[in-house]
Amino acid sequence: MEQYNFTYNDIHNTIRTSAEKIKASGFEPDYLLAIGGGGLIPARIMRTYINKPILIVSLSRYSDETGTAPSETPVKLQWLETDTNLDGKKVLVIDEVDDERTTLQFTLNHLYDTHPETEFAAFVVHNKLKEKKGTLPERLSHFFTGEDIHDYWINYAWDAENIDQFGKK
Ligand code: G4P
Ligand code: MG
Say which ligand is closest to the CA of 152: 1
- Decide: 93 and 118 in contact? Cβ < 8 Å: no
Ligand 1 lined by 60 (C-beta under 6 Å): no
Does some domain include residue 94?
yes
Per-residue pLDDT of the chain (169 residues; tens, 9 = 90+): 699 999 999 999 999 999 999 999 999 999 999 999 999 999 999 999 999 999 999 999 877 767 677 777 899 999 998 778 999 999 999 999 999 999 999 999 999 999 999 999 999 999 999 999 999 999 999 999 999 999 999 999 999 999 999 988 6
Does some domain include residue 131?
yes
Say which ligand is closest to the CA of 100: 1
Whole-prediction pTM value?
Answer: 0.95
User: What residues pack around ion ligand 2 (CB closer than 5 A)?
Assistant: 38
Q: How many domains does the chain have?
A: 1
- Decide: 45 and 34 in contact? Cβ < 8 Å: no
Domain that holds residue 105: 3-159
Q: Whose CA is nearest to atom 24 of ligand 1?
A: 154
Does some domain include residue 168?
no
- Decide: 150 and 129 in contact? Cβ < 8 Å: yes
Those residues with Cβ within 8 angstroms of residue 46's Cβ, 6 or more apart along the chain or in another chain: 15, 18, 19, 32, 92, 94, 123
Does some domain include residue 167?
no
Does some domain include residue 55?
yes
Ligand 1 lined by 100 (C-beta under 6 Å): yes
Report the greatest alpha carbon distance in the chain. Answer: 50
Ligand 1 lined by 37 (C-beta under 6 Å): yes
Q: Any idea what the CATH number is for the domain that residue 101 is in?
A: 3.40.50.2020
3-state secondary structure of 111: helix
Does some domain include residue 83?
yes
Does some domain include residue 151?
yes
For residue 168, the model assigns a pLDDT of 81
Ligand 1 lined by 125 (C-beta under 6 Å): no
For residue 65, the model assigns a pLDDT of 67
